[in-house]
Structure 1
Amino acid sequence: MAVLVALGAFLMTLAGGWTAHRVTDRRHLVLGLAGGLMLGVVGLELLPESLETAGTEVHGVPAALLLFVAGFLLAHLVEHLLAHRPRALGPARAGETPTAAHGAGETDGRTPEVGLTAAAAMVGHSAMDGVAIGAAFQVGGGMGATVAMAVIAHDFADGFNTYTLTRVYGNAHRRALAMLLAAAAAPVAGAASTLFVTIPEPLLGGYLGLFGGALLYLAAAEILPEAHHAHPARSTLLCTVAGVLFVWLVVGAAH
């Protein structure tokens, strides 16, 4: 049953990626929505779940929060190790040296490896979604149905974000499509794995905290600044707020 339900997550992930691909003429709106979805998933789902699941403390601080900060710093470190960013030159005043303009150009300052690393993290997250479905069905049919509804609903955001993260860093459509297909298949594989293996709750909670920190960095430091660069802020901001509200509605319905 868990594997069959996970097929719904497969289709919803593909739908999210297809949506991200079709609206390339409104790139700033796509990025604004993606940033809101990522922020909502981190703040309203990943972090609360990690705090509840990984209940241990390290030197007075919940382990999930430490891993959350570690994930943020890890994403920051990976970006700066992989991205030797050529900065685009902005207009200079008379007598001054041209200055770097953030986000100029479609792929200026973007390194494809960063996008692939981020998308790979999304694939891992999607696999854990499948594991969550399988584990919930081991508890009971009602629990499994509730978790499955939340996973299937937010996998639209996962597909949307996987495709967007891959493309925004300059990867070709073929690579983005491959990562999208991997993210779509991951929940099915994760659900199937629960037939053979059970992941301890503290380990699962720690993973969610680590991934949440990395995702927050990508949303706050890369996706949202790029979305608001050289575009009217009002429509983009509305898309960002809509993304957060969508995740809130999904999480609220699941509970």
Structure 2
Amino acid sequence: MAVIVALGAFLMTLAGGWTAQRVTDRRHLVLGLAGGLMLGVVGLDLLPEALEAAGDKVFGVPAALLLFVGGFLVAHVVERLLAVRQAAHGAANGAGGHSHGHAHGDPGEAPHGGRVPQVGLTAAAAMVGHSLMDGVALGAAFEVGGGMGTAVALAVITHDFADGFNTYTLTSLYGNARRKALMMLFADALAPVVGAASTLLFTLPEEPLGGYLGFFAGALLYLAAAEILPEAHHRHPALSTLLCTVGGVLGIWLVVGIAAE
């Protein structure tokens, strides 16, 4: 079942990349909704399940919460390392006295210049790695039960739409050819299918599974709070964007409530 749902994530990732080439002023609504869905899954489903499955305390704190914080920090560190590498490339490019994109008027050049194609590819590769872990989380959630799997599937599919959007955008923004952007987009789309299929080869015991879900919840919260929602409100701090976010949280509450019946 997880692999079938992962195929839906595959299609949604491709749809996100396609939308990145077409969408104009509606992107903020899509990202606002995605952020709300991710927030709802973390707070209303993933954390409660993780605490129940891995509830043992480590030095006074439930293990699932420690891993939740760990997941948040790991996502933060990875994002910061990419930002540092981007800044280093920009500084080196400036010291060299030239920029290929700037010199040739590359339309992929950002307004501030100094964009290095390798940085875009590195960021896109990180998105692929994250999508692979999305697939593993999806397979692990279906091991817990159908209700849990459905909730995580909704988060993964929605998140992968944003992943596809961002993978194509990041790759092309740094001046990479359209062919490379499409190649990274396809790799990102395939990653959750590979991740979900890998869980067919093993079954995680309940306690490690709870710990993993806590870790995944922390990483998911970071993406929602530090990347998806700020991007949604960056250029369009509109009430409609906020309503999409609230609607996403309420939608997850509805899914969780129906699954609990």
TM exceeding 0.5:
yes
Match 2:134 to one of 125, 130, 145: 125
Letter aligned with residue 74 of structure 1: V
Q: Are 2:41 and 2:151, in contact at CA under 8 Å, matched by a contact in 1?
A: no
Q: Are 1:28 and 1:236, in contact at CA under 8 Å, matched by a contact in 2?
A: yes
Match 1:174 to one of 183, 200, 206: 183
Match 1:202 to one of 193, 200, 207: 207
Cα distance in 2 for residues equivalent to 1:224 and 1:107: 25
Q: 1:118-177 deviations in whole A, cap 9, x for unaligned?
A: 4422321322322443x35xxxxxx5x545544554443243243244345446243123
- CA-atom RMSD in angstroms: 3.1
Q: Are 2:9 and 2:157, in contact at CA under 8 Å, matched by a contact in 1?
A: yes
Cα distance in 1 for residues equivalent to 2:16 and 2:252: 17
Q: Tell me, what secondary structure is at the counterpart of 1:83?
A: helix
Change (3 A) 1:149 1:47: closer
| TM-superposed deviation, 1:52 | 1.0
Q: Does 1:242 align with 2:247?
A: yes
Q: Does 1:70 align with 2:70?
A: yes
Change (3 A) 1:119 1:226: same
Q: What are the within-5 Å matches in structure 2 for residues 74-153 of structure 1?
A: 74-84=74-84, 112=120, 113-133=122-142, 135=143, 145-147=146-148, 149-153=150-154
Match of 1:39 in 2: 39
Q: Tell me, what secondary structure is at the counterpart of 2:236?
A: coil
Q: Tell me, what secondary structure is at the counterpart of 1:74?
A: helix
Identity score, percent: 48
Match of 2:29 in 1: 29
Q: Between 147-156 and 31-40, report the one with greater CA deviation.
A: 147-156
Letter aligned with residue 54 of structure 1: A
More helix by share: 2
Cα distance in 2 for residues equivalent to 1:211 and 1:149: 16
Aligned residue-pair number: 223
Match of 1:211 in 2: 216
Match 1:17 to one of 5, 13, 20: 13
Cα distance in 2 for residues equivalent to 1:186 and 1:76: 22
Letter aligned with residue 70 of structure 2: A
Cα distance in 2 for residues equivalent to 1:155 and 1:214: 12
Q: 1:171-228 deviations in whole A, cap 9, x for unaligned?
A: 62431232112213432442x22xxx33122211111111211221121112211111
Change (3 A) 1:32 1:150: closer
Q: Are 1:34 and 1:243, in contact at CA under 8 Å, matched by a contact in 2?
A: yes
Structure 2 gaps of 5+ residues are 88-109, 173-180
Change (3 A) 1:247 1:185: farther
Q: Tell me, what secondary structure is at the counterpart of 2:210?
A: helix
Q: What are the within-5 Å matches in structure 2 for residues 50-65 of structure 1?
A: 50-65=50-65
Q: Are 2:128 and 2:191, in contact at CA under 8 Å, matched by a contact in 1?
A: no
Cα distance in 1 for residues equivalent to 2:235 and 2:12: 26
Match of 2:4 in 1: 8
Letter aligned with residue 76 of structure 1: H
Match of 2:164 in 1: 163
Change (3 A) 1:176 1:232: same
